């Protein structure tokens, strides 16, 4: 082969490269549309099953067996570039959204799950004490989130964690799947009481109604009354309301003292929760982030690739930047066996340099990152 022949081959390689670049740009345009789909639905960027499917198809399309290994290596790099691009686009979109958010969006209409007398209602009244707000109650946690996202209410109050029984998993999932933001939190002391209609006594009780968390937090008490049927209900206050309306001496509810007073019930056994230090943490959510210079707590959700060291690398982003990680909760990734999202709380403000570094490092070491909020921590409890 002489020099002229080599030049012709290289010219043809340049033409081929140009075609590859055009195809790559077309591929990235499609990736951009996929990123938008995932952002709207709160889905993780990384989809192990889909990536495996793509590589298997590519392997089958290679006509020359000797090129298969190199082709798969190239496609792995293309997929990695696509994943990075999706993460970047989603992060840029969220940053743009946060920039147009008012510095202090008012919460005049506030929703909560349950009925008056519930712990959520107590959290609402405590958090918004002294402010002129209208209250609206909803049947389900999801109804509260939907009302916030549709603009029916300005803010919502949801329980997210109990000091005795851990996270409220449904709420964690709702926050990840919906494009709402945490703008505040309130910690409420929980004192459960067994209550029934006036005239009832302990010997009359056959069925007890409450939220499953209420039963869990009073497990030691109910271990002494195994003949009672424990029936899960929407929430503690709703249970009290139902018992009051039915007027059946054999039915009781587990709820707050405030609920007993509100619905005219008699407390048969006070403070039945297993732990005297029983607190529930509530989050206040809004449709958009609210800037607060005094915010000192951040909540994020991350997704990790199913590979050795993935969680360790993510957690090192906090340690390496001197940030205090205050809570971690795992939730399964839909459609991915033994793959998880992790909800993380840590101290700091998004404008602090060490927080900015940590977030940038998280973007590099995770397959999914969503900042749920930067807000003031409640120091109660």
Burial of 192 (C-beta count, 10 Å sphere; 0-12/13-18/19+): buried
In whole angstroms, give the CA distance from residue 27 to residue 122. Answer: 52
Asked whether the CA dihedral 197, 202, 204, 208 is positive or negative, the reply is positive
Residues contacting residue 219 through CB under 8 Å, at least 6 positions apart: 274
282 catalytic, yes or no? yes
The pair of three-digit structure tokens given for residue 59, joined into one six-digit string: 């392997």
Chain center to CA of 96: 21
> Residues 282, 123: contact at Cβ < 8 Å?
yes
Residue for token pair 């549709």 = 150
Catalytic residue among 141, 234, 282, 318: 282
Asked about 280 being catalytic, the answer comes back as yes
Structure tokens at 281: 């943490």
From the list 280, 299, 318, 366, the catalytic residue is 280
Rounded-to-integer distance, Cα 38 and Cα 44, Å: 7
* Encoded tokens for 215: 């039963």
**So which residues are the catalytic ones?**
280, 282
């Amino acid at each position: 082969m002489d020099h002229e022949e080599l030049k012709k081959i290289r010219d043809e390689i340049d033409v081929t490269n140009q075609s590859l670049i055009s195809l790559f740009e077309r591929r990235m345009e499609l990736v951009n549309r996929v990123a938008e789909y995932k952002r709207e639905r709160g889905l993780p960027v990384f989809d192990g099953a889909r990536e495996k499917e793509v590589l298997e198809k590519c392997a089958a399309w290679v006509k020359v067996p000797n090129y298969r290994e190199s082709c798969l290596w190239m496609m792995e790099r293309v997929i990695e570039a696509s994943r990075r691009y999706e993460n970047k686009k989603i992060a840029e979109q969220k940053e743009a959204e946060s920039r147009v958010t008012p510095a202090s969006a008012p919460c005049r209409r506030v929703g909560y799950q349950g009925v008056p007398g519930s712990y959520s209602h107590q959290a609402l009244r405590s958090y918004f004490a002294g402010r002129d707000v209208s209250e609206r109650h909803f049947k389900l946690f999801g109804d509260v989130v939907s009302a916030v996202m549709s603009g029916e209410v300005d803010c919502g109050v949801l329980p997210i964690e109990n000091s005795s029984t851990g996270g409220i998993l449904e709420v964690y999932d709702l926050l990840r799947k919906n494009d709402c933001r945490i703008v505040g939190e309130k910690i409420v002391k929980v004192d459960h009481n067994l209550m029934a209609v006036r005239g009832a006594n302990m010997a009359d009780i056959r069925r007890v109604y409450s939220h499953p968390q209420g039963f869990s937090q009073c497990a030691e008490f109910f271990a002494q009354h195994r003949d009672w049927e424990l029936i899960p209900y929407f929430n503690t206050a709703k249970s009290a309301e139902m018992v009051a309306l039915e007027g059946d001496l054999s039915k009781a509810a587990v709820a707050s003292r405030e609920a007993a007073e509100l619905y005219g019930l008699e407390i048969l056994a006070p403070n039945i929760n297993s732990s005297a230090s029983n607190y529930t943490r509530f989050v206040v959510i809004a449709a958009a982030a609210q800037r607060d210079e005094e915010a000192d707590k951040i909540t994020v959700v991350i997704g990790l690739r199913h590979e050795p060291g993935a969680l360790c690398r993510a957690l090192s982003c906090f340690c390496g930047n001197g940030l205090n990680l205050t809570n971690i909760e795992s939730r399964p990734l839909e459609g991915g066996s033994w793959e998880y999202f992790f909800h993380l709380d840590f101290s700091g403000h998004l404008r602090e340099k060490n927080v900015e570094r940590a977030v940038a490092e998280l973007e590099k070491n995770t397959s999914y990152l969503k900042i749920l909020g930067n807000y003031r921590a409640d120091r109660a409890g």
